[in-house]
């Protein structure tokens, strides 16, 4: 079954939005197979956001994501990568549609509440980085 990596960023954790956000994914039908409140190290942040290394906002990005705990999770379900990103809305919360997580909860592109893998390759890479070989839980088959 398809899996993705999703993380509530430090602004979302600080603003007590973990429950609201997780609830949306649960109600949609995705299964939470791993979750962890985690303080991201500078090394992990730089690795995770490696593709943005040359961008002018890279330093800001790393310092924000390491500024407080994140809620890192792995979600599982049919087409979870694309569907969870649709539920998040576009990167800039000012352009994100109402009803999406960023559209409802975010205001600026830096503090945009949530991150989700954008492809199967990123999901595999990001789950590897954040979860490593910790076991994922298994659910009973739906009736
Ligand atoms: P995310 O999906 O976590 O992936 C890269 C992040 O870079 C993105 O969300 C934004 O939060 C951040 N980002 C993109 N553009 C800017 C910008 N102009 N200034 C600060 N952060 C940005």
Nearest atom (ligand 1) to Cα of 65? 3
Provide φ and ψ at 74, rounded to 5°: -115, 125
Distance separating alpha carbons of residues 129 and 124, to the nearest angstrom: 9
Q: Average of pLDDT values for 83-110?
A: 97
Q: Would you say residue 143 has pLDDT above 60?
A: no
Closest to 105 (Cα-Cα) out of 3, 48, 5, 22? 22
ipTM of the complex: 0.92
Residue 91 Cα to ligand 1 middle (Å)? 7
- 3-state SS, residue 60: helix
What's the angle, vertex CA 11, arms to CA 10 and CA 17, rounded to 5?
Answer: 100
Q: Average of pLDDT values for 1-18?
A: 98
Q: Average of pLDDT values for 24-33?
A: 98
What string of H, E and C letters represents the secondary structure of 79-97?
Answer: CHHHHHHHHHCCCCCCCCC
Nearest atom (ligand 1) to Cα of 7? 3
User: Structure pTM?
Assistant: 0.95
CB of 44 shorter than 6 A to ligand 1: no
Structure tokens at 58: 């890279």
Residue 128, Cβ density class (10 Å: 0-12 exposed, 13-18 middle, ≥19 buried):
exposed
What is the per-residue pLDDT for 141? 79
Share of the chain residues as helix, strand and coil, in percent rounded to the nearest 5: 40, 20, 40
Average pLDDT over the chain, rounded to an integer = 96
Res. 3 pLDDT band, cuts 50 70 90: very high
């Amino acid at each position: 079954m398809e899996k993705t990596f999703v993380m509530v960023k430090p602004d979302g954790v600080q603003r007590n939005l973990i429950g609201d956000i997780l609830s949306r994914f649960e109600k949609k039908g995705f299964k939470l197979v791993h979750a962890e409140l985690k303080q991201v190290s500078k090394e992990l942040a730089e690795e995770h956001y490696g593709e943005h290394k040359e961008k002018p906002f890279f330093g800001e990005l790393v310092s924000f994501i390491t500024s407080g705990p994140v809620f890192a999770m792995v979600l599982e379900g049919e087409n979870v990568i694309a569907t969870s990103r649709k539920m998040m809305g576009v990167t800039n919360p000012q352009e994100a549609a109402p009803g999406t997580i960023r559209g409802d909860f975010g205001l600026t592109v830096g503090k945009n509440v949530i991150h989700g893998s954008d492809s199967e390759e990123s999901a595999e890479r990001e789950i590897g980085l954040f979860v490593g070989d910790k076991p994922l839980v298994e659910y009973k088959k739906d009736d």
